[in-house]
Amino acid sequence: MGLNIQVLCILFRKAVRHHEFLLLKRVPDKGGFWQPVGGGVEDTDGSLLDAAYREILEETGIARGDISRVIDDVHYFEFDRHYLTGEPIDKIKEYVLGFEVKGSVSVKLEDNPCGEHEDFRWVSFEDSYVMLKWQNNKDGFMKLRQILDSEDGNHNL
């Protein structure tokens, strides 16, 4: 079996009392579910981080200069089933990274050449956990929250 590599990019920003996380809603013919930014690493990407920056720009219009920091080792998982059909596929390795964006950043879905998302929301961790469809996405969000909470001195998980 071949090996494909993807990045899952969890964008977050500091809100008044907590962090907010960006979720994108896929168009109905691509599942209609909420998810973070993500996609495949392409041959033209020099690294996982380059792929992540490219995916973020394509899917949200958020440029590298709008990102204030990167947490590059949040989580990792593999899967071997198609996300819509459940059919077996070549194994995909997915690396989860966190990206803190500047508070004033704006999201532009209409610039995405794939047109794969129809809506976006900045939501609390609790809302994101309910809205996310896939358990591996939820696990990535939980890992990122643990990192952010430990930085903030908040250990009430």
pLDDT of residue 1: 28
* Stated pTM of the model: 0.90
Short-list 51, 27, 33, CA closest to 135? 33
Domain membership of residue 48 (yes or no) is yes
Q: Which residues contact 10 (CB under 8 A, 6 or more apart)?
A: 21, 22, 36, 37, 74, 96, 97, 98, 99, 140, 141, 144
pLDDT of residue 154: 62
Considering its fold, how many domains does the chain have in total? Answer: 1
Domain residues for 134? Answer: 4-152
Residues 70-99: pLDDT tens digits?
Answer: 999 899 988 888 777 889 988 989 999 999
Q: What are phi and psi of 101, to 5 degrees?
A: -105, 155
The enclosing domain of 78 has a CATH number of: 3.90.79.10
pLDDT of residue 53: 97
pLDDT of residue 106: 92
pLDDT of residue 104: 83
**Residue stretches of the chain with pLDDT short of 70:** 1-3, 154-157
Domain membership of residue 157 (yes or no) is no
User: Nearest-5° angle of CA 48, CA 114, CA 65?
Assistant: 45
Domain membership of residue 18 (yes or no) is yes
Domain membership of residue 112 (yes or no) is yes
Q: Hey, how many other C-beta atoms are within 10 angstroms of the C-beta on 42?
A: 11
